[in-house]
Amino acid sequence: MALAAGGQDVQGLVIAPAYFHVAEGGKVEGVSISAFNRVLGEQRGLAIGLVNYASRLRGVQIGLVNWADNNPAGLKVLPVANAHFE
């Protein structure tokens, strides 16, 4: 737990009230809670924040703006929640 947190490969629960970042090619498995969750690799699990971004989502995002690059057009950016399970 920290104001901001990040890494390459992250597992477990992350609470970073301001910003959470996973580097390109990295992976987060578990739950991340932050104002801005920015995963440039793969997100597996749950992200809760005001803004959530994942290059490859395998789970659920809950927030005001939820962006999953691997979703089809029209479902990439959604309010309230976004999901991808393949």
How sure is the predictor about 86, in pLDDT bands with cuts at 50, 70 and 90? confident
Instruction: Name residue 1's beta-bridge partners.
Output: none
Evaluate whether 10 touches 26 at the Cβ level (below 8 Å): yes
Host domain of residue 68: 4-84
Mean of pLDDT over the chain: 96
Q: How many domains does the chain have?
A: 1
pLDDT at 22 over 90: yes
